[in-house]
Structure formats: structure tokens, C-alpha cells
């Protein structure tokens, strides 16, 4: 054992000495000593949740390059030792994990993080996540996910940053910066992975893994820009998506992975398939078997085969037969080795050690709590029921299945979260407020799908004695996420009936939703006095909600996705295109239409007969415990050229009685262009905190190049003409001005 360890040290020293040399030179030196079997092994990634002895055998044989889902440093270090000392090429392993929204300390789901509109805080929280994960030996995280999601039936909307292209790119790059830090070689840094490339969020009918039919112009203007932003940010890797688009599965799409990603965008990092998606070409119907699938995907530009072993079993034969050129294999291997060298694995291959653990540390938990606070969106506050100030509220009844659901509260992809560390709402309320307010607690339902009404009578009796009722409802963890699509977005189980029973009592009702997606909550909004939408808020979600409910913190979240009135409105999103028959906003009342009208064409608008064309809540919407007013919009120049910036400002005044934070949003729009355009598009935003009565001029500078789109000739360009510019506090309201783009 000691001789082998000494041999490794001797081998590693020259690599350490070359640390300042060009990474490519180091990679060529490594590759010069590799056999074809060694090279193919570097493209094989497998799950670690298998028999450990079998994994050790594969590592010794050099048939594993990276391993997912092992988070025990003792195990990762032992496997790493075997790779370095006993495998043919002695190349370190790379340990990977779906680190989607926090590691041990679980953050709000990404859709919830997006509701904060706070990229700096998201970056800070992501850096903390990297600190926790790297303690466990994880150096490759399969996040961020920036799929544009406009269908809440799709379970993986929870992992997205919502429906807007600009926001998704801006927040995804914040995660990349947080995970990768100042240098990948820092042992506290993880390689980020932008996913899923591309169009996965547009799965037909919201059914996970399904086909997409995204036209080339929409693909380039809506779905690709967040990935381009991550490439420009230096994201180390990109993951392909399960879906096909226009008949081509992403993992085998050469135009997407080579011509666009590498040749046009200049991406030099690793492309990894999603789980089994190389072999997924077979059920897609474009490959006969794994050999055919491996051939197509390696030629397309997919470097690493996640879990299907298609490359491992077939690439050597494909190369020996001349069907795949050796140069194709070498390029893929170079990219994998570049990442391992950049991560410093040849010098520091083992899990990092620290005198004081960052896992569940005070600072990490504090940041998670702050992000959870900023993620909460207040949708209604009739009669200023909130906050629950002790001077006006003496007795509070807490009910509902999500009031004490430590596992469900963490949401999807909380693989490493420990529910014993979760602070639930009832726990936080009792700890922080039981001495000031009398707290009654009746869960009423054991979980969100519970249909029992046995506790309703007792709940109603307690509600009559209370000054206010706070009901925690929503979705359990398994109701959203991968392979968890829904055809109905109504509350599950007897939760709706529970709220109806509470409304009968007429005690003020505060309803708190904890869910992985926008739900159809029109009836609950109607019968509740106040509504907080907290998403799945993670480890510190209960503390964050208690702080908001009792007025320690004013809500500041804004919706990152449009809320439909009913599921039939889907897809519904704010930046829809201009149409020839635009809805007026008055349609949708079927009962008001006289019977004789059914015999003729009515309205001549793009709308439904039975529901208003407007959403329940628009993108960007959210209330505060104070009020804000926008005034005096000023634009510096009403005519700008494509190489200039639009400089505009607005006066923001806190017109309420307490400090608060507003998210000021800037939208542009154009009615006439060479191709149809969205009604408006988000182009910039700022979080602004003001004291009571304070006034501040908020300034924006937007590069005109940000207004480019793919024109009739499919060229990305800024077109001349007249544009609208709206500054508001959501996507439907605001102050408007105009400007022209000229040559």
C-alpha cells in the first residue's frame, strides 16, 4: 500500500509542477499514455448506488470516469485511491450529483428562488451549496436548469426559473458563478452544468419526456439564450435533454451540439447526456440498438454517456470498423480531461477537509432563510390582515397538512436534505411567538392528498375562538419534479374543502401555499383574506414564513410564472405574440351571452367563452406590507442607434408606513416588425429597498443589442423603428414611454 501511495505522489509531482502551463498541453501529455480502452472509459459515467465491490472492480479496470450519487467521503476517497493507484491510466475520478437547490441545507426550489428576483443572493446561496457539497467530495453539480417553462402541468417547472428568457439567463449565470467560484481548481468549487439542452420545458401537454415542436426562430429567441448566457459565463458543462424537437432527439443532434454549441458559440466544455438518453435514441425510434445510438451521439458531439454504457460497449468496435474516426473519440476525451485538470483533481483528488464544517453552519442557514423570505409572494392582503401583530392578534389557529411537513417542505431534488434539520412553520411559530400569542394547532389533514373530514368540526370550533386562522396547504414533495406531471392543478385531497369549512366560520383566514408549481387557486383566493405563496421553501422555510407572518420581514417576492385561472388557459404567459384578433379583456362570461348569439360569430377575439383572457395573477406580481408608487418616467434619448444604450429612470416612492422592497421591472415592446413580436419583454429589473416615505430615482441602462431578435431572414439583428418602454411593478401595469432605434 505504501509503495503504491509513494508511486502516486511521484507521478503527481510533475503534474503539479506544470500547474501554470496551458491545460491543453497537460491533457496531451496524459493522452499520450492512454490506450483506446482508457479513453473510452473516460466517457463512461455510472450511478454509484450499486454494489460497492462491483464499482471498485470497474474503477480498477479503468471503465469509469465519473460516478454519480456517492456522498460519503470515506467511500469517494477509497474509490479515488483505487483509480489513482490501481487503474491502468491512473486518472482521477470525478464525483457528481444533482445538486439542484442546495445540498444538505436545502434552498427554496429554483422556481421559488426566481420569485426573489435577487441574483446576488442566489449567487451567495449557491456558493454556500458548493461549500457543503465539496465537503462530501462532489465536484460536479447537474445544475442550473434554465428550461423555459410555460406549462405548470409539467412537474419540472419546479426546477426552472420560470417563463421568462431574460430572467432565466440572469439567474442561471448567478448559480454558475456561485458553484464555480473564482476558480474551478479551488477545492470549494464545483463544475456547473447548464441543462437541459434544449426545449425540454416545452414538452407537449406538460407531459415529462415528451416531444417538442419549437420553430427555429422561437428556439433561438426564447429557449437558447439562457444557455448562451451560461456559455459566456464560463459554465463548465452542458447536459442534453430527453426530448426530441422536430424529430431530432437532443442527445443525437449534431446541429445542436456541434454546429451551434461548439462552432458558433465556441463552447469548449463537456457535454453530458441526461440519464440514459444516449440509449434513449432507441425508444425515440431513430436508432436500432445501443451501437447505433452510440455512433450517432458521439458523432453529434455528446462527450459523456450517463448510465447507458452505450459508449463503453460499442465505441471500440465502431472505431476499429472505421465507422467512427479516432479523432472524434480523442476530442471527447480531451474535453473530459480538460475538466478534470481544471478542477485540480490530479493535484487534489480527495474530498476536501476543513477544521470547521460548513454543513448546516450558522451563516449557511441564515442565507437560506433570507432567500426563503425573499421568495415568498404575497398575492392578497385584504383589510391588512397581515402582518399578525401581537397588539391586534392574541390567538392564532394554525391548521393544514403543510404546517409541519419537514420532508415535503424541502421539495423535489432535495437528495441530501435531512428533514430533522428542517424548520417547519409550526415549529418556528411556537419557538418565536408562543410567548406573545396563544397558538393552537390542529393539522386536520395528515398530508395534502388526505381526504378525511373527521377533524373539520373540531377545527371549526377552534377557528371560532381564534382571532385569525393560518392554513398551510399545497403539494407534498412527490407531487412535483421529474416524472410528476399533473393534468389538474387544483388542490389535492380535502384541502379545498378544509378551506371552505374555515371560510364558513368567518374568522379572518390567511392561506399559505407551499407547492412546486403555480396551482389553480382562484376559489381559495376568493375565500381567503390573505394569500402567501411560498413554493417549497427548503430547510429554513418555516422560519422565513414565521418572520413574514408576524411582521419581522415584509414580503417582497414577485411571480416568475403567470398563474392561470384554470388549467384550460395553459399555456399562458405574459410575453405572448401579437395576434390578428387580440382579446379585449372583457370576454369569458358564458352566462352573459344570450342564447340567440350562439348562432353567430361572437367577439372576433382570441379568447375563451367561459373564462376571462387575463391570468389570475400576472408574471411579476407581488404585494408588500407597504405600498409603492412610480412616477416621473424620464428617458435620456428618444432616438438611439444599435450600438448605444437606452438610459431611462423613474421615481419610486414608498407611500406606506414601513420599510419595504419593490422589484422595479422594465419591459420593451414593438408592434410592427419584420416578424411578429411579443406584446412586451422583460429587459431589466432592480430590487429597491426604501424606508417609509422615502423616494428614490431608479435608473436603468439597457444595451440596445438586448432588443435583437431573429428577423425574417433568420439573422439576429436589432430592427429600426418605434418601441414602447414600460416600467412597472408587474408585467401588466406601469408607466410607458417611447423611443426609436435608428441607424
- Catalytic positions are 274
- For the four alpha carbons of 628, 632, 638 and 644, in that order, the dihedral sign comes to negative
Grid cell of 505 as nine digits: 366560520
φ, ψ dihedrals at 704, nearest 5°: -60, -30
Grid cell of 482 as nine digits: 421529474
Residue 695, sorted as left (phi over 0), alpha (psi -120 to 50) or beta, turns out to be beta
- H/E run at residue 375: helix 362-375
**CA dihedral angle for residue 343, residue 346, residue 349, residue 355, rounded to 10 degrees:** -80
Report the distance separating Cα 373 and Cα 366, nearest Å. Answer: 11
**DSSP type of residue 436:** T
Burial of 383 (0-12, 13-18, 19+ CB in 10 A): exposed
Name residue 171's beta-bridge partners. Answer: none
Among residues 399, 464, 387, which one has the least CA distance to residue 433?
387
Report the distance separating Cα 11 and Cα 599, nearest Å. Answer: 85
3-class state of residue 272 by DSSP: strand
Q: Which residues, at least 6 apart from 81, have a Cβ–Cβ distance to it below 8 Å?
A: none
- For the four alpha carbons of 430, 431, 433 and 437, in that order, the dihedral sign comes to positive
- H/E run at residue 726: strand 721-728
- For the four alpha carbons of 298, 301, 303 and 305, in that order, the dihedral sign comes to negative
3-class state of residue 450 by DSSP: coil
Among residues 311, 272, 319, which one has the least CA distance to residue 294?
311
Q: Which residues, at least 6 apart from 686, have a Cβ–Cβ distance to it below 8 Å?
A: 663, 664, 698, 700
Name residue 706's beta-bridge partners. Answer: none
Grid cell of 738 as nine digits: 417611447
Report the distance separating Cα 421 and Cα 431, nearest Å. Answer: 15
In which residue are the cell numbers 475520478 written? 93
Report the distance separating Cα 190 and Cα 143, nearest Å. Answer: 10
Report the distance separating Cα 681 and Cα 703, nearest Å. Answer: 14
Report the distance separating Cα 479 and Cα 113, nearest Å. Answer: 19
Q: How many CB atoms lie within 10 A of CB 301?
A: 26
Report the distance separating Cα 339 and Cα 642, nearest Å. Answer: 37
Cβ proximity of 108 and 372 under 8 Å: yes
φ, ψ dihedrals at 95, nearest 5°: -95, 130
Report the distance separating Cα 621 and Cα 563, nearest Å. Answer: 10
Among residues 170, 179, 242, 189, which one has the least CA distance to residue 211?
242
Report the distance separating Cα 562 and Cα 569, nearest Å. Answer: 11
**Widest Cα–Cα separation across the chain:** 94
Report the distance separating Cα 304 and Cα 619, nearest Å. Answer: 37
Q: Which residues, at least 6 apart from 605, have a Cβ–Cβ distance to it below 8 Å?
A: 581, 582, 583, 584, 587, 613
Amino acid at each position: 500500500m505504501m509503495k503504491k501511495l509513494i508511486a502516486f505522489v511521484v507521478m503527481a509531482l510533475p503534474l503539479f509542477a506544470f500547474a501554470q502551463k496551458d491545460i491543453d498541453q497537460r491533457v496531451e501529455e496524459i493522452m499520450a499514455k492512454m490506450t483506446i480502452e482508457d479513453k473510452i472509459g473516460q466517457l463512461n459515467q455510472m450511478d454509484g448506488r450499486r454494489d460497492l465491490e462491483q464499482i471498485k472492480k470497474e474503477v480498477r479496470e479503468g471503465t469509469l470516469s465519473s460516478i454519480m450519487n456517492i456522498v460519503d467521503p470515506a467511500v469517494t476517497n477509497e474509490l479515488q485511491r483505487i483509480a489513482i493507484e490501481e487503474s491502468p491510466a491512473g486518472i482521477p475520478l470525478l464525483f457528481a450529483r444533482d445538486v439542484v437547490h442546495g445540498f444538505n441545507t436545502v434552498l427554496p426550489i429554483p422556481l421559488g428562488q426566481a420569485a426573489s428576483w435577487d441574483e446576488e443572493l442566489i449567487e451567495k446561496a449557491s456558493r454556500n451549496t458548493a461549500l457543503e457539497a465539496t465537503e462530501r467530495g462532489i465536484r460536479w453539480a447537474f445544475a442550473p436548469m434554465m428550461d423555459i417553462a410555460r406549462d405548470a402541468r409539467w412537474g419540472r417547472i419546479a426546477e426552472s426559473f420560470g417563463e421568462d428568457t431574460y430572467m432565466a439567463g440572469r439567474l442561471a449565470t448567478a448559480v454558475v458563478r456561485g458553484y464555480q467560484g473564482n476558480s474551478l481548481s479551488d477545492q470549494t468549487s464545483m463544475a456547473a452544468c447548464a441543462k437541459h439542452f434544449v426545449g425540454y420545458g416545452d414538452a407537449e401537454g406538460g407531459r415529462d419526456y415528451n416531444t417538442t415542436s419549437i420553430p427555429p426562430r422561437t428556439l433561438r429567441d426564447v429557449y437558447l439564450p439562457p444557455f448562451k448566457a451560461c456559455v459566456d459565463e464560463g459554465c463548465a458543462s452542458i447536459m442534453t435533454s430527453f426530448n426530441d424537437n422536430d424529430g431530432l432527439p437532443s442527445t443525437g443532434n449534431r446541429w445542436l451540439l456541434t454546429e451551434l454549441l461548439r462552432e458558433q458559440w465556441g463552447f469548449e466544455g463537456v457535454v453530458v447526456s441526461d440519464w440514459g438518453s444516449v440509449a434513449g435514441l432507441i425508444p425515440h425510434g431513430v436508432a436500432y440498438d445501443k451501437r447505433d445510438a452510440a455512433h450517432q451521439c458521439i458523432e453529434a458531439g455528446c462527450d459523456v454517456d450517463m448510465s447507458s454504457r452505450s459508449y463503453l460497449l460499442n465505441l471500440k468496435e465502431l472505431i476499429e470498423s472505421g465507422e467512427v474516426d479516432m479523432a472524434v473519440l480523442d476530442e471527447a476525451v480531451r474535453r473530459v480531461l480538460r475538466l478534470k485538470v481544471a478542477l485540480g483533481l490530479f493535484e487534489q483528488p480527495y474530498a476536501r477537509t476543513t477544521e470547521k464544517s460548513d454543513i448546516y453552519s450558522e451563516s449557511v442557514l441564515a442565507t437560506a432563510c433570507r432567500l426563503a423570505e425573499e421568495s415568498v409572494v404575497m398575492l392578497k392582503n385584504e383589510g391588512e390582515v397581515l402582518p399578525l401583530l401581537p397588539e391586534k392578534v392574541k390567538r392564532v389557529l394554525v391548521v393544514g397538512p403543510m404546517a409541519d411537513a419537514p420532508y415535503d417542505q424541502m421539495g423535489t431534488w432535495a437528495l441530501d436534505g435531512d428533514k430533522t434539520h428542517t424548520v417547519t412553520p409550526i415549529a418556528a411559530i411556537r419557538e418565536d411567538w408562543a410567548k406573545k400569542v396563544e397558538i393552537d394547532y390542529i393539522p386536520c389533514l395528515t398530508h395534502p392528498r388526505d381526504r378525511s373530514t373527521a377533524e373539520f368540526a373540531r377545527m371549526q370550533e377552534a377557528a371560532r375562538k381564534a382571532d385569525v386562522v393560518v392554513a398551510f396547504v399545497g403539494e407534498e414533495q412527490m407531487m412535483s419534479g421529474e416524472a410528476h406531471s399533473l393534468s389538474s392543478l387544483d388542490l389535492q385531497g380535502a384541502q379545498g374543502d378544509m378551506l371552505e369549512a374555515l371560510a364558513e366560520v368567518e374568522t379572518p383566514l390567511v392561506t399559505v401555499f407551499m407547492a412546486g408549481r403555480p396551482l389553480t387557486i382562484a376559489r381559495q383566493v376568493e375565500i381567503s383574506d390573505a394569500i402567501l405563496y411560498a413554493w417549497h421553501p427548503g430547510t429554513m422555510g418555516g422560519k422565513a414564513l414565521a418572520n413574514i407572518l408576524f411582521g419581522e420581514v415584509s414580503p417582497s417576492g414577485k411571480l416568475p410564472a403567470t398563474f392561470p385561472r384554470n388549467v384550460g388557459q395553459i399555456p399562458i404567459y405574459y410575453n405572448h405574440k401579437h395576434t390578428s384578433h387580440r382579446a379585449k379583456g372583457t370576454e369569458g362570461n358564458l352566462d352573459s351571452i344570450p342564447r340567440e348569439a350562439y348562432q353567430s360569430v361572437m367577439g372576433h377575439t382570441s379568447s375563451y367563452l367561459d373564462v376571462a383572457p387575463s391570468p389570475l395573477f400576472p408574471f411579476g406580481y407581488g404585494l408588500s406590507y407597504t405600498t409603492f408608487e412610480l412616477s416621473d418616467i424620464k428617458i435620456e434619448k428618444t432616438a438611439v442607434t444599435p450600438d448605444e444604450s437606452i438610459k431611462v429612470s423613474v421615481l419610486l416612492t414608498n407611500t406606506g408606513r414601513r420599510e419595504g422592497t419593490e422589484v422595479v421591472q422594465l419591459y420593451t415592446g414593438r408592434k410592427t416588425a419584420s416578424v411578429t413580436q411579443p406584446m412586451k419583454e422583460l429587459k431589466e429589473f432592480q430590487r429597491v429597498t426604501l424606508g417609509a416615505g422615502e423616494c428614490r430615482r431608479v435608473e436603468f441602462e439597457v444595451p440596445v443589442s438586448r432588443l435583437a431578435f431573429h428577423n425574417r431572414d433568420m439573422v439576429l439583428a436589432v430592427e429600426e423603428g418605434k418601441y414602447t418602454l414600460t416600467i412597472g411593478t408587474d408585467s401588466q401595469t406601469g408607466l410607458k414611454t417611447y423611443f426609436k432605434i435608428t441607424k
